[in-house]
Structure 1
Amino acid sequence: MSGRTPPLGDTTGLWQAVLAAAAGRCQCRGTCGKTHAKDGGRCPTRHGGYARHGTGPVSLLAAAADPDALLLPAHRAAALPKRELTAWCPACHDATRRAAARAQQAASPTAEPDALFAL
């Protein structure tokens, strides 16, 4: 994908608007677990650029800015307004989503065993 060619299905221009607001660069500021300290605290990955040697060009995603909202079901995530979206590189998106899932799991109460099976 070169330039800012939108993904299939971006008929509203939402993805292009999110990427334009991000200046074509991942907007992660460390929620992925990396500090991005060498790059001013923001992920250096650019749309169409290369994340590391030997990988193909990166396609940024437009997804929820709030890490907890990354866990929303697809139909709810697709309905988020532009102001609640941010540009993510796949690596930061996936790492942030995993971290949010771990935090959510740790915060949920543990299920009590069913009394029927208690010994």
Structure 2
Amino acid sequence: MNERTAPLGDQQGLWQAVLAAAAGRCQCRGTCGKNHDKDGGRCPAVHGGYGHRHGTGPIRLLAAPADPTSLLLPAHQAAALPKRALAAWCPACLDATTRAVRKARQVAAPPAEPDALF
């Protein structure tokens, strides 16, 4: 897959539209836990570019829900989101944001009541 070749499941050009709207750059603004201050508050990862670690290979941006709380939607619901509800994410920011949302949801959930035996 070269710099602008769409993923196999992108028959309607949704991924390409999301990538074009993002100008080929990850749209994370710190929800991953990094502040991205050195880069104007936005992740510096560019589609087709290389990560800051040696040997990471080219970065492939993903189209995923822009709202971090929507990252936990089931796959069939996330796939049905309109283009305006999607953003371009680098894998590192997407994974970190998803972990943060899961952790926040677990902390906010009330503790499970133990079953009463008597």
- Report the counterpart of residue 7 of structure 2 in structure 1: 7
Which runs of no fewer than 5 residues in structure 2 stay unpaired? none
Q: Structure 1 residue 4: deviation in Å?
A: 1.2
- Report the counterpart of residue 58 of structure 1 in structure 2: 59
TM norm structure 2: 0.96
Alpha-carbon distance in structure 2 between the residues aligned to 1:69 and 1:51: 26
Deviations for 1:85-111, whole angstroms, at most 9, x for unmatched residues? 000000000000000000011111111
Q: Secondary structure at the match of 2:64?
A: strand
- Report the counterpart of residue 39 of structure 1 in structure 2: 39
Q: Structure 1 residue 55: deviation in Å?
A: 1.2
Q: Structure 1 residue 2: deviation in Å?
A: 2.1
Alpha-carbon distance in structure 1 between the residues aligned to 2:3 and 2:96: 25
Opposite residue 77 of structure 2, the aligned amino acid is R
Deviations for 1:6-30, whole angstroms, at most 9, x for unmatched residues? 1111001000000000000000000
Alpha-carbon distance in structure 2 between the residues aligned to 1:3 and 1:75: 27
Alpha-carbon distance in structure 2 between the residues aligned to 1:2 and 1:38: 28
Q: Number of aligned residue pairs: give it.
A: 117
Opposite residue 35 of structure 1, the aligned amino acid is N
Alpha-carbon distance in structure 2 between the residues aligned to 1:82 and 1:110: 37
Whether 1:86 aligns to 2:91 is no
TM norm structure 1: 0.95
Opposite residue 92 of structure 1, the aligned amino acid is C
- Report the counterpart of residue 104 of structure 2 in structure 1: 103
Runs of 4+ in 1 over 4 A off after TM superposition: none
- Report the counterpart of residue 24 of structure 1 in structure 2: 24
Q: Secondary structure at the match of 2:6?
A: coil
RMSD (CA atoms):
0.9
Alpha-carbon distance in structure 2 between the residues aligned to 1:98 and 1:76: 19
Which runs of no fewer than 5 residues in structure 1 stay unpaired? none
